[in-house]
Amino acid sequence: MKRFVCSKHETLAWLEYEEAQPTGSQVQVRNDFGAEKHGTMMQFFKGQGNKRGSWDDAAGVFRPGEGIVWNYPIDLGNMAVGHVAATGPEVRQLKKGDRVLCYSSFRPTIIVNESDCWAIDEQISWKTAVCLDPASYALTALRDGNVRIGDGVAVFSLGAIGLMCVQLAKLAGAHPIVAFDLSARRRDLALRLGATSAYDPREVDAGLAIREATNGIGADVVVEYSGAMTAMQGALRGVAFGGTVVAGAFPPPWPAGLDLGAEAHMNRPNIVFSRTESDPNRDHPRWNIKLTRETVIHLIRNGLIDGSEIVDPVIPFDDLMERYVPLVTDHDASIKLGVVF
């Protein structure tokens, strides 16, 4: 068996692994489909994700020059849909043949705990199912921003997370929903998924576009997922007085130039940083990462979110070495890379 990895900075490789059998409460899943997490994995492929040093969880700081966040080789791939091939003796709910969703790198089989698998019906689109991860980030961002019925919402960057933000904002009763992305393809998709308007931020004054869409008030909540300094500036320019900017991206360090003395100073918005995995949740003890994912699973099972046009393109597993980098780095060619095993 082989798995697909980033073996070192900007280097891809196939690594062999032995197919293990599940023990205890573990299950073995034979993957049918998989999907990537573009933004995060590209940070580590390019090396930027490790330049800050190791993360000191106890101190809550990075330690420059003292190790790295993730050691190479780093498994590529994020989620998979497959069928249970074998179960450990302590498994209680799942059985052989069940269709499941789980976190998995690009590999034909994986061993996971039963508690880390979600059973899904055969009729549920695998493309929607593998959007559990971006939808979890989107849900957390909207909850961190305290989006409420009738709020004006703007979203910068229409990758998988941003497109899920658009869908969930609509589901939450937000209006208007203003979307920004460099790609016409992504903007068109955002409009189909619930955005009321969509713009190329290079062609408009993003802040003014948000204000014009909200009758001059500005957005109650702006979600920024591009990681671009210009997008953050547009968010600060377009957010309403006392509104909230949610910073959810994982960007490299920005150059000088972000102006915090302009609209940000006058309109006094809140800037909230959002990350699904950073428990305790802002609504602890009522909310945590487990409840966030269970909520998204509910949305998936009930057809309330749609990933059918987000996971694109879809390629064979064996083509990853040749096609991974061109697809993942081309903003127009790929939104969320899918794989067939």
274-283, pLDDT tens digit by residue? Answer: 999 999 999 9
For residue 192, the model assigns a pLDDT of 99
pTM of the model: 0.96
**CATH code for the domain defined by 2-131+307-340:** 3.90.180.10
For residue 302, the model assigns a pLDDT of 98
| H helix or E strand, kind and range, residue 88 | none
Strand partners, 264: none
Residue the block writes with tokens 């998995």: 104
For residue 70, the model assigns a pLDDT of 84
CA distances for 262 relative to 68, 212, 236, 237, 325, angstroms: 36, 19, 9, 8, 39
| Antiparallel, parallel or unpaired: β 26-35 and 79-87 | antiparallel
For residue 46, the model assigns a pLDDT of 84
CB atoms within 10 A of CB 119: 14
- Alpha-carbon distance of 42 to 285, in angstroms, equals 33
For residue 244, the model assigns a pLDDT of 99
Q: What is the mean pLDDT of each run of 10 residues along the chain (341 residues)?
A: 94 96 98 95 83 92 88 95 98 98 98 98 98 98 98 98 99 99 98 99 99 99 98 99 97 94 98 95 96 98 98 98 94 95 98
71-73-79 Cα angle (round to 5): 100
Residues of the chain with CATH 3.40.50.720: 133-273
Q: Per this entry, what is the length of the chain? A: 341
For residue 337, the model assigns a pLDDT of 98
Q: How far apart are the first and last CA of the chain?
A: 12
Which residues have C-beta within 8 Å of that of residue 335, sequence separation ≥ 6? 158, 159, 160, 163, 185, 186, 189, 309, 310, 311, 312
Structure tokens at 188: 């068109």
For residue 67, the model assigns a pLDDT of 84
Q: What is the DSSP string of 208-265?
A: HHHHHHTTTS-EEEEEE-S--HHHHHHHHHHEEEEEEEEE---PPPPPS---SSSHHH
* C-alpha closest to that of 227 among 281, 282, 159, 285: 159
Instruction: Please state which of the four CATH numbers 3.90.1150.10, 3.40.50.720, 3.40.190.10, 1.20.870.10 is assigned to the domain occupying 133-273.
Output: 3.40.50.720
Cα torsion angle, 36, 37, 38, 40, sign: negative
CB atoms within 10 A of CB 11: 11
Which residues have C-beta within 8 Å of that of residue 54, sequence separation ≥ 6? 62, 63, 66, 67, 68, 69
Residues 236/207, Cβ–Cβ less than 8 Å = yes
Helix runs in the chain, H state only: 38-45, 126-129, 132-144, 160-171, 184-193, 206-213, 229-238, 263-267, 289-301, 320-328
Residues of the chain with CATH 3.90.180.10: 2-131+307-340
User: Edge-to-edge, what's the strand order for the sheet holding 2-8?
Assistant: 11-16, 2-8, 74-75
